[in-house]
Amino acid sequence: MRIALDAMGGDHAPRNMIAGAQLAMAELPRIDTLFLVGDESRIKSEMQALGFHDPRIEIVHTTEVVDMHDSAVKAIRQKKNSSISVATDLVKQGRAQAVVSAGHTGAAVAAATVKLRTLRGIERAAIGTPFPNLHGTCLLIDAGASVDSRPIHLFQQAVMGSVYMKHLFGIKDPVIGLMSNGEEEGKGTEVTREVFDMLRNAPGLNFRGNIEGRDLANADVHVAVCDGFVGNILLKGSEGIARAMMHLLKEAFTASLPRKILAGLLKPAMKSALHKMNYENYGGSPLLGVNGVCIIAHGSSSPLAMKNALRVATENIQHAVSSNIEERIEFCRPTPTNAEAASRP
């Protein structure tokens, strides 16, 4: 497998990217070539500091980096020698099978959409983010690729999410839920009510109905469908609550000597629970719907998170997710009436 890593993307680039690559190359023998895309001198300096030498590494030098304040589309058009742009070009040219980046999410989405194009039958790509809950893992889609969506986009997200959970997580018939402000059929916006009808009538989809925000952590659903505006708020809100809870627990367990002793006794159980909730173990989120593999990692990714993002890339290649999406979207095509209504501006 051949993977292109945006070595300059992320809050701690290129250090964490190179350290993550070192972990990946030691643990993932399926990677035949890993392209480290970015400033060659900085990449070599980090590799030397880590004692990282591997004949499967190929450095691709670039002179530009997309900053977080850059406009996504303008950055791709004006910074053609940026690390994310060149890394995506490697996939477009067939030299790499996947691109992985922890940099500017909008730029990664724009680069993949513009350069790789969307799959046959897919109008818009979407980010699918694994969300751990009491029953296992739920894929939140879209988690921020697009802030406004038409019914057909949400319908296609449901299909893509179902394919992903089936092939990557081994779930035979993934349960799909539609994010809304109530479980009742008539709840939601005009868009979500129309999507509800499309999903209910589509062949081959295990659609449960509407779900609420609390169901991400509690309900036995495998795919949670929403537009990118809602999904990103849900994701960032959950991250904020998790950090606040950790801070409050730390304060509570260190307030007195008896509580510190209790904390020591509970440490193994807490560590086990936190392991399941730790985003580092999930690595990255796939941009589903593009003609190739694009994995988007958290901006503050640690080396462990980057290693797992590269692992997710290998799994997407291995399971031919894009091909399976094209096949499934053709089978699950909505009825003509709904499709016509969904395509209205």
- Does residue 23 belong to any structural domain of this protein? no
Range in 6-15, 41-50, 111-120, 278-287 with the lowest mean pLDDT: 278-287
Q: Is 73 exposed, middle or buried (0-12, 13-18, 19+ CB in 10 A)?
A: middle
The pLDDT, as a whole number, for residue 294 is: 97
- Does residue 104 belong to any structural domain of this protein? no
Provide the edge-to-edge strand list for the sheet that holds 284-288: 57-61, 33-38, 2-6, 98-101, 293-297, 284-288, 126-133, 136-141, 223-225, 175-179, 206-211
The pLDDT, as a whole number, for residue 338 is: 47
Encoded tokens for 33:
């070539």
Of the ranges 28-32, 226-230, 248-252, the best mean pLDDT one: 28-32
- Does residue 73 belong to any structural domain of this protein? no
- Does residue 144 belong to any structural domain of this protein? yes
Contact 8, 65 (CB under 8 A): yes
Residue numbers of the domain that contains 231: 126-279+322-345
- How many residues would you count in the chain? 345
Range in 1-15, 198-212, 256-270, 287-301 with the lowest mean pLDDT: 256-270
- Does residue 181 belong to any structural domain of this protein? yes
The DSSP string of 15-44 is HHHHHHHHHHHHH-TT-SEEEEEE-HHHHH
Residue 336, pLDDT above cutoff 70: no
Output the pTM of the full model.
Answer: 0.87
- Does residue 134 belong to any structural domain of this protein? yes
Range in 38-42, 91-95, 127-131 with the lowest mean pLDDT: 127-131
Encoded tokens for 99:
């691109």
Q: How far is CA 136 from CA 47, 222, 328, in A?
A: 37, 8, 24
Number of domains in the chain: 1
pLDDT band (50, 70, 90) for residue 345: very low
Distance CA 141, CA 157 (A): 6
Q: What's the mean pLDDT in 332-336? A: 67
- Does residue 312 belong to any structural domain of this protein? no
- Does residue 292 belong to any structural domain of this protein? no
> CATH number for the domain including 177?
3.40.718.10
pLDDT tens per residue across span 57-74: 999 999 998 988 888 877
The pLDDT, as a whole number, for residue 342 is: 47
